[in-house]
Amino acid sequence: AELQEKMAKGSYTSAQITQLYLDRIAAIDKNGPKLNSIIEVNPDALTIAKAMDKERKDGKMRGPLHGIPVVIKDNIDTADKMMTTAGALAMVGNYAKKDAFIVTQLRNAGAVIIAKTNLSEWANFRSTNSSSGWSSRGAQTKNPYILDHSPCGSSAGSAVAANLCAIAVGTETDGSITCPSSINGGVGIKPTVGLVR
């Protein structure tokens, strides 16, 4: 709501907000403490944000997510220039031909999908003794508050906790939303399937 208010007043554009998040990802996820919570950045994020800014300028508002930067867990298909790998090196090069239903809903609502997040590989369906937030593609996601502690759950959670995005969309496997929310100081909402929009 605060970001929408800032865009409505003209204090910020979606493109400016998107760039701020991309800069923060570069500064503390890829450099600095290297949180490893972002597995891939959308090369078209700024183009999408500018398109949402143009729509706003032309009087077309899609709703409360219009122009808001969102990150998507890497086991959710996005039919764009980002891969969908579930964190597995075995899946590198897999580009979805079709958006997952939730991604279609987000795009229709005007959300700007800026990146894919790291996760416990295969959403933790690889072992009963695995480490939360580790994948062969993205390495170990770190807890942004205590770097050597678990970020918890297959959705990890440091992207939201470290303010690398306004909203993150994960998947609930076995505590994949509730656990990272509680450990990383976020707010996790597990709605009815398909309701996020």
Label residue 11 left, alpha or beta by phi (over 0 means left) and psi (-120 to 50 means alpha): alpha
State yes or no: is 182 an active-site residue.
no
Q: Which residues of 51-80 are buried (b: 16+ CB within 10 A; e: fewer)?
A: bbbebbeeeeebeebbbbbbbbbbbbbbeb
Structure token pair of residue 2: 């605060």
* Catalytic residue chosen out of the listed positions 135, 154, 155, 158: 154
State yes or no: is 37 an active-site residue.
no
The CA–CA distances, whole Å, from 104 to 5, 65, 107, 142 equal: 25, 13, 5, 30
Q: How far apart are CA 190 and CA 23, in angstroms?
A: 29
* Catalytic residue chosen out of the listed positions 14, 37, 73, 150: 73
Sequence letter at residue 119: L
* Catalytic residue chosen out of the listed positions 14, 155, 158, 176: 176
State yes or no: is 154 an active-site residue.
yes
CB 141 within 8 A of CB 29: no
Residues classed as catalytic? 73, 154, 176
